[in-house]
Amino acid sequence: MTVRTLLLAALGCGCATSGPLADYHPLQDASGYSESPIPPNRYDVRFVGTATTAPERALELVRRRAAEVTVRDGLPAFYIFAGGIHMRNPDFHGPMQCARGTPPVSFVCSGGPADTGPKVPQAEMIITTLTRGQIAGCGERGVEVYDARAVLDNRGSPVVKAAAGTPAEPCP
């Protein structure tokens, strides 16, 4: 190997641990994202942060994972069926105390014997993926629908409305 090759390899390795998505990775070492399918068209999507992750960042990253899952399935949009953010002590495994929040973030929780120790945000969403026709049907019901590509591209408001003339299908 040449010195140039070694230098480029060393520089390339550093890129994976810095930047705007440095904390965004599959669940490992008690932080990262995960999802579980809930057939036929729902997913339980989660993101667990670290002690330095802001709760707003955890919500942003769980929404990003929801968008990735939606695009992976070849669909254009999703809505949040249920969801919330918990601030929890990662060493405490007992019951949590919760207060109602504002939908779609429907609860805020904290936990620990005296609510002491480090806290990490854990964001969770149950999402429903949608076809174009279902976007129209959900819009008629007043459901807030997210354009998956807009979420991924971080473009303005990710909330989408059905194109004019799109036949409405039932909102699941």
Q: Given this model, what pLDDT does residue 8 score?
A: 35
Distance CA(172)–CA(121), nearest Å, equals: 29
Please calculate the CA angle 63-64-68 and round it to the nearest 5 degrees.
Answer: 115
Q: Given this model, what pLDDT does residue 15 score?
A: 38
Q: What is the pTM of this model?
A: 0.73
Domain locations in the chain?
Answer: 26-153
Q: Given this model, what pLDDT does residue 140 score?
A: 84
Distance CA(26)–CA(80), nearest Å, equals: 21
Q: Given this model, what pLDDT does residue 5 score?
A: 40
- Per run of 10 residues, the mean pLDDT along the chain (length 172 residues) is 39 49 86 93 92 87 94 95 76 50 49 58 91 89 90 82 82 90
Q: Given this model, what pLDDT does residue 163 score?
A: 77
The helix (run of H) or strand (run of E) holding residue 88 is strand 77-88
Q: Given this model, what pLDDT does residue 83 score?
A: 85
Please calculate the CA angle 98-21-55 and round it to the nearest 5 degrees.
Answer: 15
